[in-house]
Structure formats: C-alpha cells, structure tokens
Chains A and B, each alone.
Chain A
Amino acid sequence: MIRALASAASGMNAQQLNVDTIANNLANANTNGFKARRTQFADLLYQNLIQPGAAAGSQTIIPSGLQVGLGTRPSSNDIISLQGTFTETDNPLDLAIEGKGFFQIRLPSGETAYTRDGGFQLDATGNIVTADGNPLEPQITVPAQAQSITIAADGTVSYKQSGQAASQVVGQIQLANFANPAGLNSIGGNLFSQTDASGDPTVGVPGGQEGIGSLMQGYVEGSNVNIVNEFVNLIVSQRAYDANSKVVKAADEMYQQVNSITQ
C-alpha cells in the first residue's frame, strides 16, 4: 500500500518538474538563440518480493520472481540542440549560425561563455558586444568612421569608409563547437558555460570544420521551442499527473475498505 502511494507521489513530483521545464520553454519561445530543454526520467530501484529461482514447492522453482518498482525520478533535463528558426532583421550586426557552433563571449569575470544569440551591438568604443554589453571573444572593434559593416559567412568583419572603394578587414569571428552541446550549463542571459559533460570546445572559423556552421548576416536565430510539441507535452504531462493522482485515490479507497472489514 505504502509502495503504491509512494510510487504515485514520485510520479506526480516528476511530472511537476516536467511542467516546470515546459513552462520555461514556453516562456522563452521568443528568446533569441534559446534552446529548449526536455526532462528525462528513469525508474527507481526495484523491491524483490520473490527472488527468481526460489523454491515454490519441494519440486518446483519459480522461474521469474516478483519485482515491484518504487516509482520514478527525473534523471536529467538536457538541451535540445535543434536549429531555431531564422528571422530576417536587416540589422548588420544580427548574426545567425547555420550549424552547431556557438559564439564565444567574454564575461566580466574573464571567463568565456557561449551563446547562439547573435543579436550584437556596438559599444561606445566600437567593440562588438552582446545586448548585455559583454564583448565577443576574440574582441572585434569597428572604428567610428565606418559607414557600413559587412560580416561574411566565414566570419570576416569588414567595413567601408565613405569615399573609399576598398573595404577594411577588422577581424574574424570565431565559433566554438562542442562534442555534446546537450551537456552545456545554462547560466542565464542566453549564455552557456562548458562542463565536463559537454567537453572542451573546439574553436574554429565559421565554415571551417565540419558542422561548426557558417554565419548569416542580417538574421537572428529564434528559439527552437516548438510550441505545438510543448503543448502536446504539457497535455501528456498533465494527464500523467492526473493518472498518478487517481492511483493515490484508488490506494486510499482500498485502504478504507480494509478498515471497514471489521465493524
């Protein structure tokens, strides 16, 4: 009895976490470069009520035992690294990565963080920075006299000055690629940090190594949250929660009946 109640409670807890994740995904449906997370579950330990191979009588043995599981637990909520949708903005500093790579951002602490959000801006000194003001790594500075900025698919940043025919190259954007992007750590502000699970980044120029991706100027990558999928998951999760609560009710009713045997 206690087993059924505890299993159902663990299922309800797990579905609550699932709904939390779905809520965060939906809340970030319009966040540039946001990667949805999905919750994964695993079953808990099993209680062996009857050991397989135990004697059932003097001549027979039980071929398979009786194992009762004790519920579920959330095992991970990993990042889904599907490409988000591209939105045209015509802003010369909006960049979308067509591939697996990440932009490298230098945090005030000196550490490097990674992002897919390519909505960049210029700061007072002409550095290319994120919306939060953290500069790209390696740092790229566009002089104030630049008339138009061009960022090529391979990350080369160049500008044109008025009255000059030739464009000046100021640097090349580099991307980082991870063996296991699902293992990255979300630190908020659209940024990720590396972990042991994600592995060390392989840094390269866009379009260089396989899969790192190339850049598209004038576009931003939207979130990869699939609203329809999230709603379907929400319904499934809600129904699973419902079903688990029915088990609690059933266990309660059965308990009541046991108590009503002796009057």
Chain B
Amino acid sequence: MDGFTAAAASGMRARLETLDLLANNLANASAPGFKVDREFYGTYLSADAAESPGNGTGSVMPVIEKQWTDYAQGSLTPTGNSLDVALKGKGFFVAISPSGPLLTRDGSFRLSSGGDLETQDGFKVRGQDGNPIQLDATKPVVITSEGEIRQDGQLAAQLDIVDKKAGTDLSKHGMNYYNFPQDGMAVAGADLQQGSLESSNFEPAESAVRLVTVLRQFEMLQRAVTLSTEMNRQVVEQVARVTS
C-alpha cells in the first residue's frame, strides 16, 4: 500500500475504535458513577522511521493508542435510600473483592444481614482503618459529608475515600469498578451526600455531535481511500500507456 492509502485506512480504523468507545459510553448512560472514555489520537511512526536521521519523511499513521477517562462530576440524583452515597468532587470508594481491593464511584450500598456494608455485587466496603465496615444492621445509618458513618449518634465507622495519584491513570475493571493501581492511592478529602447517587457523566447532546463527527470523518477518509485507489488505477492504466 502507498502512504496515502495506508494513512487514510489507519484513520478509518481509528474512527471505528472511537465509535466503540462512544457506543460503550452511550450504553452506560444509566450506570451510576460511570465515567465516559474518550479517545486519544496519536501518530504512529514505525520504529525504523523514528530512528532514521530524516524521520520527518516517513508515512505518519493516525492511531488511537490510548483512551482517557473523563472524571468530570456526574449529576447527583436523590434516591431517598439512606445507603446510597454520592461522591461530590474527587475520590473513590474502596471495595474489597476476593481478588483484592477495587475502586468505585457507585455508592449504591446495601447492608447485609450480618451488618457488613456491601456494594451491589456483595463486595465489602473498606473503612479508613483498612478493614471492612461493620455496622449494626438494626439501627438507622447516618453518613456525614466527611464520610463518618454514625449510628445512634455514635461514630460507627469511617468510609475510606481515596484519590488517584497525580499523573496516573486508572484502568476500568467493569461492573462500575476500577482496578486498584499497583503504586497505591492518595488520601482524598471526602465530600459525600447521603441519599443520592451520582449519575453517569455522559452528555447526550455532546455524544450526538461526536457521533455525527465520527461518521463524517469516516466518510471523508473513505473518499480519500477511494481517491487514492483511483489515482493508482490511473497510474497503472494511463501513465504506463505508450500510445494514446
């Protein structure tokens, strides 16, 4: 393939992956605490081209080499359930899964009959002391904006709210969880709202615009591929022709 066709084809592939990300964002419009993924376009220079002295001349392919997660705040929806907690601002709850700790912004907790504070998947929620939070299942639960859990006016536990370290990114685990990064998390100041849930930060209007943009860019690139194949055909059929 010549450079023109390859670059356009690479751009088409990148737009397909953009559509994959967009489709997932749209599908999760109703998942509490979901944060949208956005594509990050880069250019690809083959390793040899990058190291050659005149590296500006090689074909440069647009590729999506990573996605970034937009951690913008989702809107808070009141639910009236005392075990629903929304995070305002930065931070994550820590859930203890059988395979280790996980992070989540989905604060739709429940209380097991044994008094464990759990996520929807039955993972225990971690307190600031590093242990699962244990409450008295028979008493009402009050959660302050600082993350203190009070029962009968007494401090029963403190929710562990952590934030990602500056410059690091989190990978998504699925089921509204993020993987706990190996280099640990930073302590975050908690700002909670009991009886509310954070909605997904997906914006329908923006997504509609992005959908159209992706579609039109794809169309342009498809024209470019068609154009270049047409040019190649003309080269083969006309330039090589000796007599008219």
Contact = CB atoms under 8 A, between A and B. Distances in A.
A72 B169 contact: no
Nearest to B12: A258
A244 interface: yes
A239 B29 CA distance: 10
Given A56-B65, A63-B169, A239-B204, A251 B81 contact: no
Interface in A21-77: 38-46, 48-50, 52, 56-58, 62-72, 75-76
A80 B32 CA distance: 15
Contact of A14 (B27, B65, B67, B113): B27
Interface string B151-164: 01000000000000
A250 B67 CA distance: 21
Given A44-B174, A211-B139, A247 B51 contact: no
A105 B225 CA distance: 72
B218 interface: yes
B66 A261 contact: no
B231 interface: no
B59 interface: no
Contacts of B110: 78, 180, 182-183, 197
In terms of DSSP, what is the predominant structure of the interface of chain A?
A: mixed
A199 B12 contact: no
A77 B244 CA distance: 75
B47 A57 contact: yes
A179 B173 CA distance: 29
Interface residues of A, number: 77
Interface stretch (B15-23, B86-94, B186-194): B15-23
B3 interface: no
Given A46-B173, A68-B17, A68-B21, A180 B219 contact: no
In terms of DSSP, what is the predominant structure of the interface of chain B?
A: mixed
Interface stretch (A5-13, A88-96, A116-124, A146-154): A5-13
Interface of A: 1, 3-5, 7-8, 10-11, 14-15, 18, 38-46, 48-50, 52, 56-58, 62-72, 75-76, 78, 80-82, 100, 177, 179-180, 182-183, 196-200, 202, 209-211, 236-237, 239-240, 243-244, 246-247, 250-251, 253-254, 257-258, 260-263
Interface of B: 12, 15-17, 19-32, 34, 37, 45, 47, 50-51, 64-68, 79-81, 83, 106, 108, 110-115, 120-121, 137-140, 152, 169, 171-176, 204, 207-208, 211, 214-215, 218-219, 222, 225-226, 229
Given A58-B51, A72-B27, 10 more contacts: A10-B27, A42-B176, A66-B64, A69-B25, A69-B174, A75-B121, A78-B108, A198-B113, A199-B114, A243-B29
